């Protein structure tokens, strides 16, 4: 265990074992629905096994213990000595949770805490074949009496109940299998004998022990009475007396001796040690043939046969070796971020060149610039691709989330995942994880009804939650759909009024769809008592804020008694932002294009004031109107305007109109964070370099409204 915990290896382990743990959690939930799936059982077994192996090298003993327990249980399961029960699953899942917790500790460089003793005991109890739990592994210490194989073997006999085969035993085993020293002509019957006897060994002795007597008879059978014992009397190797079903080094050595002749490597069974010794070649080329399984090779030709291909392959090797390499490389995401950043810069330069090219008459330049344009777009796409991850990474945790939740709420819920292979930016995948978990929990907790209620409503007892992802142009659409009770718009309004989020007039004017969005209001909870599940922790408003931060939108629709659909739209990437460039006063500003609904030229005299808020009527809908220059221009002086450019943006269900002085057009920009001095300026998301080489501030619309339109009823509505 004194392996030096190499930092890099530890990192590798965390990444790789982390992946294994993720798929374990998926597989475990899958297993519950498919208890007899042998492949699945094997794969889970191997998962725990592999993590245990790695953890062992890194001296993470606490982790090893838990994995070991789980591994043992799955060993029984896959051998049919146990069956999957919900209780067993609970234990395994809590073991997995413990492992995950330990993982976090390792990641944070904190010392590991040993697993809960109850859990370990339970794991231990379950890792005995079914029906034998009570009879634990007590009778193993069934007095291993040492009776030396030979006169000389008193030296280092193994008389303890060691768990492992000793080196000497192994040596002896090798000798046994291949004929020891002068023992020649191990007949073709050897293998079957050995197998028989070793089978006998495991059957005869109650606890898989191998006793001296048994071992001796094994030797006798292999080499004829006396023949081998004469050999073994020469041997300095110790007697085999280990009493467990595990082998130690000595046992292995003697096994090898037996198999290959004393002190020899596996070789042709018939050829004696002396024969081989004459062939004077380097050790690695020493002719060695398959030993026992099919011991019928022709002794005289075998050494040559073994040697020739060896030489041939030596010649071929150099060319072939080069073609065998790994096809994947692990790259630090920081490096990818860097590349993405540089591509971003390139995009800016491209934008600048394109705009120069437009004003130039030089045809060659125009051509070159449009070429650069195409290449840059491709490069941008390719780099983005490297950062893409399937949404599976997030979806993978949902079967477990839903399973646990449904079990604790005593609901019957089927989770359907669709479009798991949809790719999106790594940062987005991570950022979406929490909001999605919250929304799915919400669907399970508040959406789907209890089985009895469902039945009385004529619905199937089992509720369905569908989680799907798909790419729509430059956006990813995520949908969470349940076939539960749906939401009651009137009830939502009542609660909103009760909580002071909404007044009666506004409520009366509110459409159902707008009312559904009330659940995203801060401090809004449709359940009067806080449920353990989704009534605490992050609220829906946090979910919404988070998604808005990702330049995404949330849309909610519901039908009473039928179910609820939540739609989340997020851009494919966070690094490059399509914007609409506008001029306000003398300055250029960028509005995130995702929010922009429409642009038109408007007669500004045709506005109305409602509730003290300036509004315009667009297609019979009243939309609040704001003059951006009132907010964004220093020393603003009101000027009379008859006509103006109006940009309508969509924020959730709410539309807001902004008057700007001039429209420049659509441009892809790279967001640069604001300097420390400017950091936190309300309504500004960042800055970017425009195609004419200037600087434009990127507007954060919701924040800007929050700050500047404090008194406006719109703001109240938006916050709700």
Stretch 306-325 residues interacting with other proteins (CB under 8 A): 306-307, 309-310, 312-314, 316-317, 320-321, 324
By C-beta, is 7 or 638 nearer to other proteins? Answer: 7
* Interaxial angle between packed helices 167-178 and 212-223, expressed in degrees from 0 to 180 and rounded to the nearest 10: 30
26 binds other proteins (CB under 8 A): no
Q: How far is the CB of 89 from other proteins (least distance, A)?
A: 23
Question: Using the rule CB under 8 A, which residue among 37, 50, 468, 471 binds other proteins?
Answer: 50
By CB under 8 A, residue 49 contacts other proteins: yes
With b meaning 16 or more CB within 10 Å and e meaning fewer, what string describes 224-237?
Answer: eeebbbebbeebeb
CA pair distance 613, 615, nearest whole angstrom: 6
Quote the least distance from Cβ 158 to other proteins, whole Å.
Answer: 12
* Sole window of 43-51, 78-86, 388-396, 484-492 interacting with other proteins (rule: CB under 8 A): 43-51
Residue 601's DSSP bridge partners are 645
CA distance 137 to 141: 9
Q: Which residue has the tokens 């008459």?
A: 361
159, 220, 245, 450: residue in contact with other proteins (rule CB under 8 A):
245
Sites for other proteins among residues 272-311 (CB under 8 A): 276-277, 283-294, 305-307, 309-310
What would the DSSP string read from start to end of 380-438?
A: HHHHHHHTEEETHHHHTTHHHHHHHHHHHHT--EEEEEE-TT-EEEHHHHHHHHHHHHH
Binding of other proteins at residue 250 (CB under 8 A)? Answer: no
Min CB(60)–other proteins separation in Å: 10
Residues 58-117 contacting other proteins, CB under 8 A? 59
Strand, coil or helix: 165: strand
Beta-strand pair 413-418/463-472 = parallel
Q: Please report whether residue 506 would count as binding other proteins according to CB under 8 A.
A: no
161 phi/psi in degrees, rounded to 5: -80, 60
| Alpha-carbon span 65 to 60, nearest angstrom | 9
* From 62, 65, 251, 445, residue interacting with other proteins (rule: CB under 8 A): 251
**Distance of alpha carbon 120 from alpha carbon 65, whole angstroms:** 8
Would you count residue 345 as binding other proteins (CB under 8 A)? no
Q: Token digits for 597?
A: 């609904």
16 touches other proteins by CB under 8 A:
yes
* Residue number, 140 or 533, with CB nearest to other proteins: 140
Q: Is 195 in the site for other proteins (CB under 8 A)?
A: yes
Q: Which stretch binds other proteins (CB under 8 A): 126-134, 225-233, 255-263, 519-527?
A: 255-263
Residue 285 or 417: the one with the smaller Cβ distance to other proteins is: 285
**The only residue of 74, 103, 170, 520 in contact with other proteins, by rule CB under 8 A:** 170
User: Could you tell me the smallest distance in angstroms from the CB atom of residue 714 to other proteins?
Assistant: 55
Binding segment for other proteins among 121-129, 168-176, 405-413, 612-620 (CB under 8 A)? 168-176
**Smaller CB separation from other proteins, 205 or 703:** 205
For residues 198 and 427, which CB has a smaller minimum distance to other proteins in the complex? 198
Q: What is the DSSP string of 340-384?
A: HHHHHHHHHHHHHHHHHHHH---HHHHHHHHHHHHHHHHHHHHHH
Q: How many residues bind other proteins (CB under 8 A)?
A: 82
Instruction: Give 613's DSSP letter.
Output: E
DSSP 460: -
Half-sphere exposure of 376 (CA within 13 A, CB side): 21
DSSP classification of residue 33: H
Q: How is residue 251 written in tokens?
A: 């046992």
HSE, CB side, 13 Å, CA atoms: give it for residue 590: 27
Q: Which of 95, 106, 174, 432 binds other proteins (CB under 8 A)?
A: 174
Minimum distance of other proteins from residue 151's CB (angstroms): 25
């Amino acid at each position: 265990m004194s392996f030096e915990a190499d930092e890099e290896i530890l990192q590798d382990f965390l990444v790789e074992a982390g992946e294994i743990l993720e798929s374990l959690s998926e597989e475990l939930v899958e297993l519950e629905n498919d208890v007899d799936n042998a492949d699945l059982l094997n794969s889970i077994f191997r998962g725990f096994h592999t993590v245990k192996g790695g953890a062992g090298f890194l001296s993470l003993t606490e982790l090893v213990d838990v994995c070991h327990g789980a591994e043992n249980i799955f060993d029984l399961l896959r051998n049919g000595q146990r069956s999957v029960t919900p209780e067993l699953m609970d234990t395994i899942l809590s073991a997995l949770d413990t492992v995950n917790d330990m993982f976090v500790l390792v990641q944070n460089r904190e010392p590991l805490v040993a697993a809960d003793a109850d859990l370990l005991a339970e794991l231990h109890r379950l890792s005995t074949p079914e029906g034998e739990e009570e009879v634990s592994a007590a009778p193993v210490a069934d007095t291993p009496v040492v009776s030396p194989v030979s006169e000389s073997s008193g030296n280092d006999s193994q008389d303890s109940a060691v768990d492992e085969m000793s080196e000497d035993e192994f040596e002896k085993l090798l000798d046994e299998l291949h004929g020891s020293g002068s023992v020649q002509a191990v007949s073709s019957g050897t293998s079957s004998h050995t197998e028989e006897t070793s089978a006998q060994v495991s059957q005869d002795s109650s606890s898989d022990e191998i006793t001296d007597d048994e071992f001796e008879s094994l030797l006798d059978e292999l080499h004829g009475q006396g023949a081998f014992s004469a050999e073994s009397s020469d041997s300095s190797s110790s007697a085999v007396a280990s009493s467990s079903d595990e082998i130690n080094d000595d046992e292995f050595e003697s096994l090898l001796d037996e198999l290959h002749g004393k002190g020899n490597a596996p070789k042709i069974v018939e050829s004696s040690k002396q024969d081989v010794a004459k062939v004077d070649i380097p050790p690695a080329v020493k002719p060695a043939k398959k030993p026992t399984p099919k011991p019928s090779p022709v002794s005289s030709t075998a050494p040559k046969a073994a040697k020739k291909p060896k030489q041939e392959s030596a010649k071929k090797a150099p060319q072939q070796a080069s073609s065998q390499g790994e096809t994947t490389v692990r790259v630090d995401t920081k490096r990818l971020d860097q590349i993405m950043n540089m591509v971003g810069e390139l995009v800016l330069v491209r934008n600048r060149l394109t705009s120069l090219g437009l004003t130039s008459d030089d045809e060659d330049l125009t051509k070159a610039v449009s070429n650069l344009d195409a290449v840059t777009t491709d490069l941008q796409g390719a780099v983005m691709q490297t950062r893409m991850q399937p949404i599976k990474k997030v979806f993978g945790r949902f079967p477990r989330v839903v399973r646990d939740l449904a079990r604790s709420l005593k609901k019957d819920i089927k989770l359907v995942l669709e479009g798991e292979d949809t790719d999106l930016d790594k940062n987005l995948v991570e950022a979406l994880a929490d909001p999605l978990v919250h929304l799915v929990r919400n669907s399970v907790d508040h959406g789907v009804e209890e089985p009895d209620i469902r039945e009385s409503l004529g619905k199937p007892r089992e509720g369905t939650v569908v989680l799907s992802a798909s790419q729509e142009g430059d956006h990813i659409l995520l949908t969470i759909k349940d076939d539960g009770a749906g939401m009651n718009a009137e009830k939502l309004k009542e609660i909103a009024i009760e909580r002071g989020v909404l007044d009666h007039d506004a409520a009366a004017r509110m459409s159902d769809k707008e009312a559904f969005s009330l659940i995203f209001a801060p401090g809004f909870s449709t359940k009067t008592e806080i449920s353990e599940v989704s009534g605490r922790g992050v609220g829906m408003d946090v979910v919404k804020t988070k998604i808005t931060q990702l330049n995404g939108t949330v849309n909610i629709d519901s039908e009473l008694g039928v179910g609820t659909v939540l739609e989340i739209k997020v851009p494919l990437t966070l690094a490059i932002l399509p914007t609409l460039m506008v001029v306000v006063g003398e300055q250029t500003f960028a509005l995130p294009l995702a929010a922009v609904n429409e642009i038109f030229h408007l007669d500004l005299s045709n506005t109305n004031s409602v509730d003290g808020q300036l509004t315009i009527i667009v297609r019979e809908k009243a939309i609040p109107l704001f003059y951006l220059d009132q907010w964004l221009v220093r020393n603003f002086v009101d000027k009379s305007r008859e006509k103006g450019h109006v940009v309508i943006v969509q924020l959730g269900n709410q539309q807001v109109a902004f008057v700007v002085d001039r429209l420049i057009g659509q441009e892809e920009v790279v967001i640069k964070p604001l300097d420390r001095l400017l950091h936190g300026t309300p309504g500004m998301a960042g800055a970017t370099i425009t195609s004419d080489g200037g600087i434009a501030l990127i507007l954060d619309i919701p924040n800007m409204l929050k700050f500047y339109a404090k008194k406006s009823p719109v703001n109240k509505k938006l916050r709700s």
